[in-house]
Amino acid sequence: MSRPEYKKQRDLFLQGFAEVQKRDADDPKSFFAVAGIHGLPFAPYDLLPGEKIPLTDWHKGEPRWGGYCHHGDILFPTWHRPYVLLLEMLICEAAEEIVNNYGDGEEADEYKKELEKVRFPYWDWASPSTLIQGIPSVFFDEYVYIDNPKSKNVRIRNPLRAYTLPVNVGTLSLVGDISNPTQRPYNPGAETPYTPAGYATVRHPDSNYLTVADTTNLNVVTFCSSVLRPTIYQVLLVNKWLQFSNHGTSPGEVNGNYGHFSSIEVVHDAVHDAIGGTGGHMSYPDVAGFDPIFFLHHANVDRLFAIWQACHPDVWIIGNNYTKGTFTAEAQKPIDEKTDLTPFRKTQDTYWNSDDVRDIKTLGYNYPELRSENKRLLIDMLNYYHPNNYLRYHWKLTLTVKKNKVGSPFQIRVFLDLPTADASTPINSSNFAGLVSIFARGKETNCGNCISNPDAIVNGSVDLTTCMQRLFIDQNNEPDDGTIDPSSASLQPNQITLVVVLKDGSGMSLEDAGLIT
């Protein structure tokens, strides 16, 4: 967004985004309404006059949940594609109103031409620059400066920094809940944070309920090195939709063990965790959509999805999966490439489906890596996201965890040669190898899916190679006869320590956290 040739597009995007954020909460074209599609306030979105959702008397006990989004199933990548496009459309509509007020003249005409090129930007959270600097400063600046035909360097509030909630969001599960920003010091708990009207979204908040940029960046840099880049490297090599698309499913279902240890959803979960931290909105699925960075994160998920599609053009959705139920889908109903991606309308009477959004070029956008045919695309992308100091062999630990047993988001951290590691051991320790983030909803959620599906599974993996190098543990221990004897491996199970860390910073036993393998 900082390149001079995109200055007019950037200014129009920022102004349009700011206008969408100003709209009333009950306006379906408001940021509040769009962000709420992902979770709280669990309200139907943009119903037509006289239209009703199929479930009129929904309550927690129902085997479907009060919301729309697809997590942990085969529609995770495709459902989020029109979600980002919806916000892009609303921002461009708002920017068009702004441009129309510029009047006539050569410069006004230039802005009108640039408006046609405005697309939703992405932030590549696994790029070499992120590895060095973390999150770009534009996500922390209180103000941004824009130009228009009448004035230059006009200061406006930065819509990427945060969003101030116009109504109360979240729940107070207890009277005097310490996870309440109206109280000082602010001390977030493990549950979905309560955010009263008038309070802004935060990332890694301190005791004054303010975002701590340095902590956020340090966390993102650490995740980028030990989690994000190694996982993306593995994701790009997956060549089956079931394994690529999501982080797991429930035991007993058709293909019940398909959730891959290196799926696009697994790395997506880790980014939420890295940005939000303890008490930050991005860490909690019910409120994550209210942080503006959520949509730039998902734009990058969509970019990686599109790149993966180009690398594996013949691979597509296999409909051997069932929905747990949404506002518009009955529980245990089969889902496939023709399933409506509600609430995203293609026309007034129809919704987009996965086949409709398969080719991004038909949707009016593209990504830099895909502008021309590249037979070496997979190799180029593997080289770009190549984990640091990769050798001939790499070591990977795979974990299978019950997603909803804890009842809140949490991490399983992996340390090597540090048997004393616990929840207080920092992730900047030289013994830290990586982690798996469990992006779960809280016990107080209105997500009937989560309540009725306590045995849902997340599969994740941690690449141990870089940490082994750092600790001088041999990674290239190749037997002369080509066979592998576990007892002679250079890394033994007793050198690996797993630590559960809840969002309030406390620990928990692996058994209580739902670790299966």
Q: What is the pLDDT of residues 407-462, one digit of tens each?
A: 888 999 999 999 999 999 999 999 999 999 888 876 665 555 555 566 778 888 88
| E strands, 225-381, in order | 321-322, 334-335, 340-345, 351-353
Instruction: Examine residue 447 and state whether it is found in any structural domain, yes or no.
Output: no
Phi, psi of 194 (to 5 degrees): -85, 130
| E strands, 366-506, in order | 396-402, 410-416, 432-438, 457-463, 496-502
Q: How many CA atoms lie within 13 A of 213 on its CB side?
A: 11
Residue type, 140: F
Domain CATH code at residue 282: 1.10.1280.10
**Residue 365, Cα to own-chain centre: how many angstroms?**
21
Rg (CA), the chain: 23
> In the chain, how many domains are there?
1
The per-residue pLDDT for 178 is 63
The per-residue pLDDT for 480 is 55
Percentage of residues in the chain having pLDDT higher than 90: 60
The per-residue pLDDT for 331 is 66
Closest CA to 464 of 453, 455, 454, 473: 473
Closest CA to 474 of 514, 416, 399: 416
Q: Round to whole Å and give the CA distance between 322 and 248.
A: 12
Q: Percent helix, strand and coil across the chain, each rounded to 5? A: 35, 15, 55
The per-residue pLDDT for 47 is 72
Instruction: Examine residue 503 and state whether it is found in any structural domain, yes or no.
Output: no
Other C-beta atoms within 10 Å of 227: how many? 28
The per-residue pLDDT for 271 is 98
Instruction: Examine residue 8 and state whether it is found in any structural domain, yes or no.
Output: yes
How, if at all, do strands 457-463 and 432-438 pair?
unpaired
Q: What is the pLDDT of residues 23-43, one digit of tens each?
A: 999 999 999 999 999 988 888
**Residue 191, Cα to own-chain centre: how many angstroms?**
18
Q: Round to whole Å and give the CA distance between 488 and 491.
A: 8
Q: What is the span of the domain harbouring residue 184?
A: 4-120+127-381
Q: Which residues of the chain have pLDDT under 50?
A: 55-60, 63, 174-175, 250-259
Angle in degrees, CA 143, 503, 456, rounded to 5: 115
Instruction: Examine residue 28 and state whether it is found in any structural domain, yes or no.
Output: yes
The per-residue pLDDT for 389 is 57
